[in-house]
Structure 1
């Protein structure tokens, strides 16, 4: 996409007909603790991932901790965590997967996103979503049934305030008649990655976002979805998916599924073959979600960096 050729995060991460690798943060301790490592340890791991050639680092947005949801979400606010990490890294793209736009005011989100993009020297990849934790909507006094509409509103407003000086906006949540939102992104826009369908049609997403993040699923279903996305987009807009992996110490270990989650335990040999298969069906970027609880995370990242990442390098000469 021409408008993002000079956006460092987008250019580093997304290549047409090529798969690259990212990693999901915050990572959890190897002793089975449900909580993530502290921020100093996270920064150390982020610098390690960057040095090994991972193209991106993505964090989730969990406004509330819900002990009944099935996972703990993340401890830190995504904008704050990524800003802190950006100060300790140089090149790795920094993404959200994904900010719950329905629960945040669009002007606040636009300012936070533009600030992070500026501070990180255009490394921010802005994943957005409607949210799926039911307890959050009443807590924030947001009607869950309106989340698709609020999602569209957020994207429209952010695009406008990033591009225009002193825009006039009247919408469900915004009555902007005076003042302006600063800073403006260097490119007057930021790469927006939709997540799932977010209550929209694939055609709407193709027209109004710069890339699509979808959940992992059976290969034939994913291929069909990617083909629909390519047809609706009309030009290259990257397709991203997560992959939960519990990396075995045995590099030749055969795969077996991780219960409930779309992912598997295997050695790195199978993982490489699996990622090539995803590349062949059109996946452009995979965010690895490390499920290891029996190995130090630094050890797992090191093995991935030495044996897996070289097959899917983000930067080409």
Structure 2
């Protein structure tokens, strides 16, 4: 255990509408979570998840519904679907509303969300270069100065942001492999991952400093059987191997790929199922041992209040 550990809760834009997410944010703060992470998707992974509200509008509601809890976007891909100029304005406004409580997570994205503007989907190395340049554009606009920028991927002409926070938020970069971890150390203010990935050491060796975020999937339910069935219906994409999550273009393609995923695959995977508090505590501790200091849980399915109450009474006290 560590005094520096912060425990968070996921606001899953793929599964819940904007008003539900605002209510969940308020309730998670009451339960004693340290921070919230909200996803930024244009589509859900599979249609059974059923939602995909615009994250920047939803964050306005979260800002007014909460008082002290930190909030981050985990993560936005500011490279194709929305021009970095617009992302800079959105994040500056949101950061101003949160008054020091906002963290901006960025990554190279998935074809599922980014292909909607009909641009060519580049290979990962190119997307990583695009992300670095996009972050440069955003940071220049956050200065509040009139900005013109002509880079390899983006052009900006006489743009100036007038609504700015008192202090710019940190930009935390998503990483799932060695190349991305080194990039996060190069131009990020922290690192963002999923599960106890072995990227923190690579990031630190490359000079990375700042917060270290990771997400854990869980399904708190009355039984392991019920939890496995819920995950199999609502989040089977977690069991897909390799780079499929970044390369499939539509929910229909994900549903076709997920036909290969069985309930047994769900049971044997990394998702914590059921109400054994020790298993949830152990899952968090594994991430702490892997070097993360911001660990947040994603409750899969509709029973958000059940999960929040369970963590409030059975899990969070073990880390306080």
Give the TM-score normalised by the residue count of structure 2. 0.76
Extract unaligned runs of 5+ from structure 1: 1-14, 28-34
Q: Which of 1 and 2 has higher RCO (CA within 8 Å, sep 6+)?
A: 1
Distance 2:186 2:153 in 1: 23
2:285 aligns to what?
A: 276
From 81, 88, 91, the equivalent of 1:110 is 88
From 211, 217, 235, the equivalent of 1:238 is 211
Distance 2:3 2:204 in 1: 12
Does 2:304 align with 1:297? yes
SS of alignment partner, residue 281 of structure 2: helix
Judged with a 3 Å threshold, the aligned counterparts in structure 2 of structure 1 residues 136 and 280 are, in CA distance, closer, same or farther, namely closer
Extract unaligned runs of 5+ from structure 2: 229-263
Does 2:140 align with 1:157? no
2:71 aligns to what?
A: 94
Root mean square deviation of aligned Cα: 3.1
Judged with a 3 Å threshold, the aligned counterparts in structure 2 of structure 1 residues 307 and 225 are, in CA distance, closer, same or farther, namely same
* Pairwise CA distance, 1:312: 3.2
Give the TM-score normalised by the residue count of structure 1. 0.76
Give CA-to-partner distance per residue, 1:132-151, whole Å, 9 cap, x none: 23574264424423422221
User: Would you tell me which structure has more helix in proportion to its own residues?
Assistant: 2
From 46, 56, 76, the equivalent of 2:35 is 56
SS of alignment partner, residue 156 of structure 1: helix
- Determine if contact 1:24/1:287 at 8 Å carries over to the other structure: yes
* Pairwise CA distance, 1:127: 0.9
SS of alignment partner, residue 48 of structure 1: helix
- Determine if contact 2:9/2:35 at 8 Å carries over to the other structure: yes
* Pairwise CA distance, 1:154: 0.7
Judged with a 3 Å threshold, the aligned counterparts in structure 2 of structure 1 residues 284 and 277 are, in CA distance, closer, same or farther, namely same
- Determine if contact 1:23/1:58 at 8 Å carries over to the other structure: yes
- Determine if contact 2:128/2:180 at 8 Å carries over to the other structure: no
* Pairwise CA distance, 1:16: 8.1
SS of alignment partner, residue 163 of structure 1: coil
Does 2:8 align with 1:22? yes
Flag as ranges the 4+ runs of structure 1 deviating above 4 A.
65-68, 71-74, 197-201
Judged with a 3 Å threshold, the aligned counterparts in structure 2 of structure 1 residues 286 and 166 are, in CA distance, closer, same or farther, namely same
From 73, 78, 93, the equivalent of 2:55 is 78
Distance 1:257 1:264 in 2: 13
Does 2:9 align with 1:45? no
Report how many aligned residue pairs link the two structures.
278
